Amino acid sequence: MSNLETAPQPRVCGGRDDVSGTPVHELLTGKQVPLGESTVVRRLLPSMGRRMVGAWCFVDHYGPDDIVDRPGMQVAPHPHIGLQTVSWLHAGEVTHRDSVGSLATVRPRELGLMTAGRGIAHSEESPRDHSPLLHGAQLWVALPDGHRHTEPHFEHHPRLPGVTAPGLHATVILGELDGARSPGATYSPLVGADLTLAADAAVRLPVEPDFEYAVLSMSGAAEVDGVRVEPGSMLYLGCGRRELPLRAATDSSLLLLGGEPFEEQLVMWWNFVGRSGEEVARARAEWMTGTAFGEVHGYAGGRLPAPELPPVPLRPRGRTR
Ligand code: MN
């Protein structure tokens, strides 16, 4: 998916100054952002005051939307550098095409993982014969400096490992949870897991005290560490837990996102994660002139132009610790 804001503001991310070393409760309710002509998403990250959770640097939640007589998701070819994108669906399908020749249709609870590395372009669309509902999350993972120029590639993992306990089934999307490891490539210590809770479930999920965590509610009525999290909202939890109490009043679905606090400073603008304003401006120019990123074949329509750069130079902020 793409950041389709017409005047995106630069975001300086990373560093430990906004990481809570102890358990906290910080409820993020998201901001409504139009995505293309037919989709509105709730943007949970980056948000006011919270820029990252581990290496997770972008979280959009969308739907469930009735798209019976509508095109559904239609995101034209656009570029990325320095990040991975994770497509995660609870309903519907998304067809992915990219400039290294990948073509895949991702379905609910399958992992579509694109590592942009030094640069890739892709499109994402609901197929013509699509399901009536579209519901999912679009997530980005920042790549650490040692891996951010890696070769771009796409992975489709239809089957993922799970962890089961009474009242809980967890699907490991990325990284590792309770000994189960996703086959998706990772470049920093992190976890992403889809948690299905049965009505009246009360579980204590083992987590890493050195990771910071957040939980996004996808559906249902669940409490995370005693805090009710409505669907489309996300609770930031900080670090310092060995287990996370979860309760569900009805059948519920949560996304657990966590990771080692990401210490590098980033400049995040539009669909680029870089280390300097010059690098981001160069990526923008290469997209607009067509001198990098390659071609996405098979998408019916033109490509997305980049917005204008803001007048103020993009600069990463220095580390505070
Ligand atoms: Mn994208």
- Per-residue pLDDT of 121-150, as tens digits, reads 999 999 999 999 999 999 999 999 999 999
pTM: 0.93
Indicate the fold that domain 11-259 takes in CATH.
Answer: Jelly Rolls (2.60.120)
Asked whether the beta carbons of 319 and 15 are under 8 A apart, the reply is yes
CA of 271 to the centre of ligand 1 (A): 7
Instruction: Read off the pLDDT band of 320 (50, 70, 90).
Output: very low
Arithmetic mean of pLDDT, 204-217:
97
Instruction: Please give the structure tokens belonging to residue 172.
Output: 């490991």
At 14 the pLDDT is 55
* Tens-digit pLDDT profile for residues 266-296: 999 999 999 999 999 999 999 999 999 999 9
Residues bordering ligand 1, an ion, CB closer than 5 Å: 1-2
CA of 165 to the centre of ligand 1 (A): 35
Asked whether the beta carbons of 258 and 235 are under 8 A apart, the reply is no
- 40-54, 174-188, 194-208: which has the minimum mean pLDDT? 40-54
Distance CA 82, CA 309 (A): 18
Instruction: Read off the pLDDT band of 49 (50, 70, 90).
Output: confident
At 40 the pLDDT is 87
At 34 the pLDDT is 85
Q: Which helix (H) or strand (E) holds 281?
A: helix 277-289
CA of 36 to the centre of ligand 1 (A): 12
Largest Cα separation within the chain, whole Å, is 56
Q: CA angle 202-203-208, nearest 5°?
A: 150
Instruction: Read off the pLDDT band of 319 (50, 70, 90).
Output: very low
CA of 77 to the centre of ligand 1 (A): 8
Q: CA angle 12-311-307, nearest 5°?
A: 80
At 15 the pLDDT is 52
| Phi, psi at 294, each rounded to 5° | 75, -175
Q: 148-185 burial, b for 16+ CB within 10 Å, e for fewer?
A: bebebbbebbeebbbbeeebbebbbbbbbbeebebebe
* Tens-digit pLDDT profile for residues 74-83: 999 999 999 9
CA of 1 to the centre of ligand 1 (A): 3
